[in-house]
Amino acid sequence: MTDNFRLDGKTAIVTGAGSGIGRAIALSFAANGAHVYAMDLKEDRATETVQLIEQAGGTQSSAIVCDVTNAAVVAQKFGEIAAAGQIDILVNSAGVSHIGRLETTTEEDFERLFRVNVKGIFLSMQAVIGPMKQAGNGVILNMASIAATAGLSDRFAYSMSKGAVLSMTLSVAKDYMADGIRCNCISPARIHTPFVDAFLHQHYPGKEEEMFAVLSKAQPIGRMGAPDEVASLALFLCSDRATFLTGADIPLDGGYVNLRG
């Protein structure tokens, strides 16, 4: 059955591929036959992801340094990839988080979240939509969050940005269905990434294990998700086994949205 989800002969761009969920997706796609362009703001992280792909015996991959908030840079980098061959898959995993409510969110905070989480996805999708239309097919997968649809404490700007991701996903799915392009998003709950560890170290020094347990139990299933679990879902959604699925927001949340209480 695993062969059903292979991506042999396909080219995938994964933004935010230098760590966490993006890296897990890049590794999974490469292990299943895709030529992966591991895109990240930081060259060392993108290069490390490519090295991990090579060490695992994955298919050809390339490290691409790209600031997804810079329109000129995005146009250049994506244009170079398109010139080299067809772009079959785009996964928008680049993003930043923020903790704060309305009154504690600064204008700078708000603009940073919008610039990376919203504008970055807008520019990346805009850069691939033309080549995908010309090819008559393509898959776009965006990383949203349960914050898009659930009221989360102290996540004002982050929730705003992920709500926009969900709305953009639905719009693109509707507008380009006739062009053979599918667009979906995944809405994870808390996933154990380096961000979580850094957050605990910064805000709860000496109590990291205790607070990790508290955060884990916030999901009804009793633990955080793993980046590999997000990658497995992403692999299915971007494979030819999911050709009937578009305009979907898939919660990967350990029961958080529907099973609390």
Give the containing element (helix H, strand E) for 206. Answer: none
142: tokens are 């965006």
CA 88 to chain centre: 16
- Judged by DSSP in three states, 169 sits in helix
| 169, two tokens | 């996903």
Sheet of strand 249-252: strand arrangement: 61-65, 35-40, 11-15, 89-92, 138-143, 181-188, 249-252
Catalytic residue of the set 158, 176, 204, 256: 158
Of 69, 130, 118, 89, whose CA–CA distance to 7 is shortest?
89
Cβ-Cβ contacts under 8 Å for 95 (sequence gap 6 or more): 16, 116, 117, 120, 143, 161
Measured from the Cβ of residue 87, the count of other Cβ atoms closer than 10 Å reads 23
Quote helix, strand, coil % in the chain, to nearest 5: 55, 15, 30
Check if 158 is active-site.
Answer: yes
Distance CA 50, CA 198 (A): 24
- Under a CB-based contact definition with an 8 Å cutoff, are residues 189 and 217 in contact? no
Would you say 253 and 219 are in contact if contact means Cβ atoms under 8 Å apart? yes
Catalytic residues: 158
